């Protein structure tokens, strides 16, 4: 028995019956050999952390377009806060922390620069000039999926599991993730941005 198999065995013994087990993943778009050390969801988490789009989050603002000072949130700090909150919830409920973390870390990869103003600007452009896939609107969660499926690694994508891709796509209002871990990330995202938007607004003297 290798380390991955031992981890999967521990999941079977300790996680809730409602949790998503790594050994039961629906798989990847392009089949791969299993890793001896990491479960499928652990590999997804690592791929997201080491991808270029994740590093670019540090230069994207969360709320304010051009804040002065070092203490305002960026998309990267927001993502880390969401991951921490979501993992805590998952641990308490005995759901899969690795899957929860992977979805959390990837949920905002497609967010634009300049906060939601950037997203609205691209949405207007897409309405006039539809994307290659026929989309005539821009949504950051759809862009996040495009990144992990097609844009990263020079067009090869990250080849993430179906559960992580679904969680990234469905982390926003109006969508329901297929796994409880994905639904946890949606709640954690809301907890994070409500609290830190207020915190940043108070720091800026707006509230």
Give, as one character, the DSSP assignment of residue 173.
T
Q: Each residue's pLDDT tens digit in the chain (207 positions)?
A: 999 999 999 999 999 999 999 999 999 999 999 999 999 999 999 999 999 999 999 987 765 555 565 667 789 999 999 999 999 999 999 999 999 999 999 999 998 887 778 888 888 998 888 877 777 888 889 999 999 999 999 999 999 999 999 999 998 877 899 999 999 999 999 999 887 666 655 665 665
User: Which domains are delineated in the chain?
Assistant: 43-203 (1.10.3210.10)
Spatial distance between the Cα atoms of 8 and 159, rounded to a whole number of angstroms: 21
List the one residue out of 101, 89, 87 whose CA is nearest residue 39: 101
| 3-state secondary structure (DSSP) of residue 135 | coil
DSSP symbols for 11-72: HHHHS-TTSPPGGG---BSS--PPPSSS-HHHHHHHHHHTSHHHHHGGGSBSS-SS--SS-S
Spatial distance between the Cα atoms of 191 and 194, rounded to a whole number of angstroms: 6
pTM of the complete model: 0.91
């Amino acid at each position: 028995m290798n380390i991955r198999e031992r981890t999967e065995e521990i999941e079977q013994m300790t996680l809730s019956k409602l949790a998503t087990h790594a050994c039961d993943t629906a798989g990847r778009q392009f089949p791969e050999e299993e890793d001896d050390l990491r479960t499928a969801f652990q590999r997804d988490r690592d791929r997201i952390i080491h991808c270029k789009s994740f590093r670019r989050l540090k230069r994207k603002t969360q709320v304010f377009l051009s804040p002065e000072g070092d203490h305002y949130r960026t998309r990267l700090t927001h993502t880390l806060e969401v991951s921490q909150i979501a993992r805590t919830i998952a641990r308490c409920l005995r759901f899969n922390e690795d899957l929860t973390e992977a979805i959390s870390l990837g949920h905002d990869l497609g967010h634009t620069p300049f906060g939601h103003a950037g997203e609205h600007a691209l949405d207007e452009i897409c309405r006039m000039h539809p994307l290659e896939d026929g989309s005539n609107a821009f949504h950051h969660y759809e862009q996040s999926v495009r990144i992990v499926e097609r844009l990263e690694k020079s067009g090869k994508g990250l080849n993430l599991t179906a559960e992580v891709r679904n969680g990234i796509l469905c982390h926003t209002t109006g969508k329901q993730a297929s796994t409880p871990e994905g639904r946890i990330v949606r709640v954690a995202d809301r907890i994070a941005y409500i609290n830190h938007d207020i915190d940043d607004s108070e720091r800026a003297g707006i509230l």
